[in-house]
Amino acid sequence: MYLLLVEDEAALAESLSGVLTARGHRVDWASDGLMALNLIAHQQFDLVILDLGLPKLEGMQVLQKLREQSVDLPVLILSARDQVQDKVAAIHAGADDYLSKPFDTHELEARLFGLMRRRHGVASARLEWAGVAYDAGQRSFACAEQPLQLSPREHATLLALVEAQGSPLARQALFDRVFVDDTDIAPDAMDVVLYRLRKRLGELGVAIRNVRGIGFYLDPDRP
């Protein structure tokens, strides 16, 4: 998932970004509410993790502005405010979930994945597309009832494609998801990952298609 973390406490933001990145997600960080709105206006995030006590523009104001602008991006509130009235107010303002600090990172990730499933109308703990199934609990893939043994980069690429649910992902968007911490990797390294993944999936009747100038998506038919 491509996540926006909106948190003014730098130590927490750095720690949480590191954990989520290590688990295969791409994370951008905004330290105040105005920065968050600017990033959301220019990037295509999957989800927003939003603190309430922010400088310049409070989290509740950020949430209200997003909903006033009909931005349907899922928002999970992550806040030290744990009173019932705070949670109720956030939900009424348009939040999709609320998790109080302190929290467990595994619970946070499970809630994020739950929001992603809900966004795509999926009720089960598995996310599926084009014959490829991802089990969030096991962090594993299967295709044609066969488990897929993937490298970390192949795993990140396939997860991004499954989460996209058929919407083409631009090459740069895939590159940013797969090579999060690799600043010296050449852009054509993405081609190597795609080639290997295409070979694995092609044997199982699933193709990775490329719409020129737009991006890549999973197709259940052989090329």
The single-letter DSSP state of residue 148 is: E
Q: What is the domain count for the chain?
A: 2
Same domain? 103 vs 15: yes
Q: Print the domain residue range for 42.
A: 2-119
Instruction: Please give the C-alpha separations between residue 217 and each of 2, 126, 169, 206, in angstroms, as whole numbers.
Output: 16, 19, 7, 10
DSSP 181-203: S-TT--TTHHHHHHHHHHHHHHT
Neighbours of 158 (CB within 10 A): 25
Q: What per-residue confidence (pLDDT) applies to 12?
A: 93
Q: What is the pLDDT along the chain (223 residues), one digit of tens a residue?
A: 789 999 999 999 999 998 888 777 889 999 999 999 999 998 888 899 999 999 999 999 999 999 999 888 899 999 998 899 999 999 999 999 999 998 898 889 888 888 877 776 554 557 788 889 888 777 889 988 889 999 988 998 998 898 888 888 888 888 877 886 666 787 788 999 999 999 999 888 899 999 888 889 998 765 4
Could you tell me if 66 and 134 lie in one domain? no
Q: Specify whether the CB–CB gap between 141 and 132 falls below 8 A.
A: yes
Q: Please tell me the pTM assigned to this model.
A: 0.64
Which amino acid would we find at residue 80?
A
Domain boundary among 119, 150, 174: 119
CATH of the domain at 190: 1.10.10.10
Q: What is the spatial distance between Cα 198 and Cα 106, in angstroms, rounded to a whole number?
A: 31
